[in-house]
Amino acid sequence: MATTRRRSRKQQCLLCRWTIAFRGQTRRILIAGARKVRQIYRRIRSRRLTIIADPPRREAWQLRRLVRRTARSYAKALGVSLPNGLAIIVQRVVFDGRQVNGLLTAFEADGARRYVIQLALSVNGREVSDGELVAALRHQLSAVFADAIGKPVLSLALDLERGLPVQSGGSIVELRPQPSVVANGHDQDADPFALSRVTDYQEGEAS
């Protein structure tokens, strides 16, 4: 009986040691797995587009959706992908010495760049429309994509509201009766509307 009791006690001690060792090993595995999951999550999150919107919840959700769709569609149209770590912040006002529609800031470390785009909801007290917000975002994204697609070599602006400038330079012919004919009246057969002077103006100056 004594031998059996000693064996059972030894078995219990061994079982306790195995249980403690198993628990410790399981705990270490879980900690290492959780650390690996966090690293993967941070890596995936760093590649995603981060959008921060200051307005209330419903309006902020609509703005985030608009900004996300605009950025992705513009990148797809240019055949590039959004850079890692790109952050777009939609806030009430944006300052750069004065109130502006948008501001692009680039940070560089270890040869890698990260971009932050700030978009304004109002400029000098005037509310910005969604169309104006989208135009400002695309303008800033053009500078962001310059690293991937190169810098623009041609930029042609078209302003249909102001129209084309008036080209001056046509000839102005001044017609007036000759003073001699009107004053003297000697030559009645002469044309009373004879030209006294023909002046050609070129670019606003008499030639």
* Predicted pLDDT of residue 203: 47
- Above 80 in pLDDT, residue 115? yes
Nearest-CA neighbor of 113 among 85, 141, 152?
A: 85
Q: With contact defined as beta carbons under 8 Å apart, do 123 and 93 qualify? A: yes
| Gap between the Cα atoms of 69 and 76, Å rounded | 10
* Predicted pLDDT of residue 28: 85
Residue 128 DSSP class: P
* Predicted pLDDT of residue 180: 52
25-34, 60-69, 130-139, 170-179, range with the lowest pLDDT: 170-179
Mean pLDDT (whole number) for 2-29: 69
Exposure class string for 111-124: b at 16+ Cβ within 10 A, else e: eeeebbbbbbbebe
Q: With contact defined as beta carbons under 8 Å apart, do 74 and 138 qualify? A: yes
Q: Pick 39 or 168 by higher pLDDT.
A: 39
* Predicted pLDDT of residue 158: 78
Model-wide pTM > 0.85: no
* Predicted pLDDT of residue 163: 56
Q: Pick 68 or 37 by higher pLDDT.
A: 68
Q: Pick 55 or 196 by higher pLDDT.
A: 55
Band (pLDDT 50/70/90 cuts) for residue 193 is: very low
Instruction: Find how far residue 106's CA is from the centre of its chain.
Output: 12
* Predicted pLDDT of residue 179: 53
* Predicted pLDDT of residue 98: 92
- Above 90 in pLDDT, residue 149? no
| Gap between the Cα atoms of 206 and 198, Å rounded | 10
* Predicted pLDDT of residue 160: 79
Q: Domain spans of the chain?
A: 1-47, 48-149, 168-207
Q: Which secondary structure element, helix H or strand E, spans residue 118, and what is its range? A: strand 112-120
| Gap between the Cα atoms of 119 and 134, Å rounded | 9
| Gap between the Cα atoms of 92 and 53, Å rounded | 9
C-alpha distances out from residue 134 to 8, 67, 78, 204, Å:
77, 7, 16, 44
Helix (H, G, I), strand (E, B) or coil at 107: strand
Mean pLDDT (whole number) for 47-70: 89
